[in-house]
Amino acid sequence: MPKQTYITTPIYYVNGKPHAGHALTMLVCDIEKRYHGMLGHDTVFLTGTDENALKVLEAAQEAGEDPQAFVDRISQTFVEVARQLGIEYDIFYRTTSPQHFTAVQRLFQVLRDNGYVYLDKYEGWYDVSAETFVREAELVDGKSPDGNEVRWVSEENYFFKLSAFGDRLLAHADANPEFWLPVGRAAEVRSFIQQGLRDLCISRANPGWGVPVPGDDSKVIYVWFDALINYLAATGWPEPGWEDLWPADVHWMAKEIFTRFHATTWPAMLMAAGVPLPKTIIAHGWFTFNDAKMSKSKGNVVTVADLLTWFGEIGCSPEMARDAVRFALARVLPYDGDANFGREEIARHFNADLANDLGNALNRTINMVQKFCGGVVPTGTVDPEVVSAAQECQAKAEGFFATHELHKALDSGLEIIRFLNRYIQEKAPWTLAKNEDASLNDVIVSMLYCLRVAEGLLRPFVPSACDALLAQLGYGNTDATTEWAIATDPARLNHGKPVQDPSPLFPRIDLKAMNSETPTSEPTPVAAPAPAPAEAARPTIEFPDFARIDLRVGRVLEAEAVENSEKLLKLQVLVGEERRQVIAGIKQSYEPDELIGRQVILVMNLKPRKMAGLESQGMILAADGPDGKAILLTPEAEAPEGTSVH
């Protein structure tokens, strides 16, 4: 039997409830499992809870609970977070299990038999909150480097000869560049090792909680030594068959437990036991709020339930709210450094990528299938240029999955949607239909193909949204892309099948309404007449006169003809986070459908004006064409909505 792909989160302390940081690590493993499944790999994903810590015992005592009942209750909250996000783990591992006790005591004995564990006296400082030993030189104002209270410990304990493995760890990392990731944190590990590793105290006096040292019940095994063994114990080690799963392909975690424990202590333990090392150990950064790490003490903890409630309140269905949270976590994944995780940051990405780019592309494509093809997917040939673009996006995503840069893999999937929006503007299907151009069906089919490709590339991230997208395109429940290799195959289109009426997958977030509790200075509503005829000569103005004109890049979200008017169109234009209604006299130059998704230049600071009984809140700029028709001015390249024009 070939070895299975093995992916793990850290196991989480059960002294408190899970927050968005815990959910992030679960999610990245879930995404990688789904991707490997599409590659055809038999993949096992482990997560779980670390329950043997002294601080867990103390938290239970403070809560007035039996320790086992306490960890049972808190452990279940992590199971619930996984359920809320659609996390498909295979093993939920708990360190209070008999399986764990057996494996930990066995590995301890193996290391002792191999000469890497010895008995000695430990005297020094101990940070109970972080469950770590602290050197005198590391204290800051009498506290640990993390700012926690420390206790002086003086007792006879067992030690692991960590100092014997510095050179071996560096040599292994030199031979295996993917061993420590990302590169910046790998450099931190090297620096830590080069400063000199010291032997590690791996036992504590037995408080009545934890894994007893084999042959010495007066002591329990140090929680970090105990907890790290979970990855190996879950394979069934030392019983036969454990090699079907081990070594782990990737250990995911947050950066605070990377350098001292997972990147050094854990592989040294495996070396000492003669067990193969994991392929990759990778640590992401933290979510921050105004440069402060998320923590209960700062009162800035965000939970998955908070995020699900918020997305529900702005109009997402339960399935789309779940995918919105998955998207938000993955989109701002702090891979190399830390990342801000405020609501405005989340909303900007959500609006730009899901509500605007994906929503507009899906809406426009289905509308054109209904308008130009009778609502049925036509027979046609996908443009080779479009296939090439899709394959390039897929190749980029593969490269980023290989380096675990999942935020970039997600962006590669979104890139085919951005390409589609540009393709629609370039090919102008409305003009092809008006001219009865024979290439119309090929263009429509190419547009549908882009959406089909996006479903495959985005499926590991937002599976429910991909299901909903397929349904609107007329596919059945069994048509989901389950094989990565065929995600860009043009032969997978459902020619001759009807599409559904378009329906927004994700509603747009109104940032102003979201922040209405915070006083803000609202811009004055403005109006815009239709473009005026050019004058033969105009008076010279000074630069300050020109500078008073507020020109911004906007994107047309909606366009429709004004009733009983031969010239006017009513546009809804997105400018930054603001939505403006603009009445423009361009009906004789443009069909409404061809304007949706297009970027325009908008004059923001004109006085409001009524046109055909409708208020116009801006004026879009246009040039006069040789036939007297308007030619809209657009940026040469895509620019963020709201960008100033100078």
- Percent of the chain predicted with pLDDT > 70: 92
Q: What is the pLDDT of residue 295?
A: 59
pLDDT digits (tens, 9 = 90+) for 555-589: 887 888 888 787 899 998 888 778 899 999 888 78
Candidate ranges 122-136, 138-152, 472-486; pick with highest mean pLDDT: 472-486
Q: What is the pLDDT of residue 612?
A: 82
> Where among 445, 471, 492 does a domain terminate?
492
Between 111 and 644, the higher pLDDT residue: 111
Q: Are residues 433 and 467 in the same domain?
A: yes
Give the Cα separation of 355 and 509 in Å (integer).
8
Residues 6+ apart with CB under 8 A from 189: 173, 180, 258, 259, 263, 264
Structural domain contains residue 56 = yes
Q: Can you give the residue range of the structural domain that contains 417?
A: 304-492
Residues 6+ apart with CB under 8 A from 540: none
297 pLDDT tier (thresholds 50, 70, 90): low
Between 126 and 31, the higher pLDDT residue: 31
Q: What is the pLDDT of residue 576?
A: 78
Q: What is the pLDDT of residue 505?
A: 94
Q: What number is the average pLDDT over the span 249-259?
A: 96
Write the CATH number for 344.
Answer: 1.10.730.10
Q: Are residues 318 and 386 in the same domain?
A: yes
Collapsing DSSP to helix, strand or coil, 602 comes out as strand
Q: What is the pLDDT of residue 517?
A: 36
Q: What is the pLDDT of residue 609?
A: 87
Q: Are residues 270 and 406 in the same domain?
A: no
Give the Cα separation of 296 and 310 in Å (integer).
20
Closest CA to 603 of 630, 640, 575: 575
Give the Cα separation of 643 and 589 in Å (integer).
26
> Where among 472, 492, 512 does a domain terminate?
492
Closest CA to 162 of 142, 133, 185: 133
Structural domain contains residue 638 = no
Q: Are residues 432 and 537 in the same domain?
A: no
Q: What is the pLDDT of residue 555?
A: 83
Structural domain contains residue 92 = yes
DSSP letter string over 589-601?
Answer: T--HHHHTT-EEE
334 pLDDT tier (thresholds 50, 70, 90): very high
pTM, 2 dp: 0.81
Residues 6+ apart with CB under 8 A from 454: 358, 413, 414, 416, 417, 420, 469
pLDDT digits (tens, 9 = 90+) for 374-407: 999 999 999 999 999 999 999 999 999 999 999 9
Lowest mean pLDDT among 12-26, 355-369, 421-435: 12-26
Q: What is the pLDDT of residue 532?
A: 42
Q: Are residues 532 and 412 in the same domain?
A: no
pLDDT digits (tens, 9 = 90+) for 11-42: 999 877 788 999 999 999 999 999 999 999 99
The kind and range of the H/E element at 620 are: strand 619-620
- Give the count of domains, the chain: 3
Collapsing DSSP to helix, strand or coil, 12 comes out as strand
Q: Are residues 439 and 313 in the same domain?
A: yes
Write the CATH number for 61.
Answer: 3.40.50.620
- Whether pLDDT at 333 is above 80: yes
The kind and range of the H/E element at 615 are: strand 614-616
Q: What number is the average pLDDT over the span 595-615?
A: 85
530 pLDDT tier (thresholds 50, 70, 90): very low
Structural domain contains residue 642 = no
Q: Are residues 356 and 269 in the same domain?
A: no
